[in-house]
Amino acid sequence: MMSKGSSDDIQAFIELLLSPQREKELDPFFVITFLPIEPHHEVADIGCGPGFFTVPLAKHLLHGKVYAMDVLEEMLEAVSRRVAQVNLSNVEINKCNPTDFPIPDVSLDGVLLAFVTHYNEEPVEFLKAVRNLLRNTGWCGVLEYYKKESQDGPPLEKRIDPEELRNFAQQAGFQFREWRDINGKQYMAVL
């Protein structure tokens, strides 16, 4: 869920998000193995971008469904093309706002937030809105960058360390289950 920019900037960002180098550093199928996900779950990929995680999620959810959501129309068009290319029929694509999602509360088994929490000025309010979507047994996977310099990712002041995320999550009513390093600069937490 990046902020609006020029069409050329957004297209360049889409290419970066779908680059083979990114997939090598952040294998989406490997990341999904850390989630308590079942083939029948209904899961939202909030801030789906061009579908880097949407497509692998949909392939895993053989009897389930993925709700791919983003604030940018260009990202939704890109994910729509990717989903059509691989003939997935279990993906619903919707435009959303940062804390307003077009699906009913208490309707999801899981949510994936891949590098979107740091975009929100009010991360606790964002996480509360996400928590409202989940059933009582629901889970939330959060991917973020460590608060240390690296060539890619958000500016240092926007990054969220695991302990800071734990604090935001608990304020939003989540239980912080665990976190793990992904590649030395990114980590994943399960709420």
At residue 4, the pLDDT reads 52
pTM of the model: 0.93
Q: What DSSP state is assigned to residue 100?
A: B
Q: In what order do the strands lie in the sheet with 178-181?
A: 91-95, 65-70, 42-46, 108-114, 134-145, 186-190, 178-181
* pLDDT value, residue 5: 58
- The candidate with the shortest Cα–Cα distance to 119, out of 94, 153, 152, is 153
pLDDT of residue 13: 82
Task: For residue range 136-191, list pLDDT tens digits in order.
Answer: 999 999 999 999 888 888 999 999 999 999 999 999 999 999 999 999 999 999 99
Q: Which residues of the chain have pLDDT under 50?
A: 1-3
**SS3 of residue 158 by DSSP:** helix
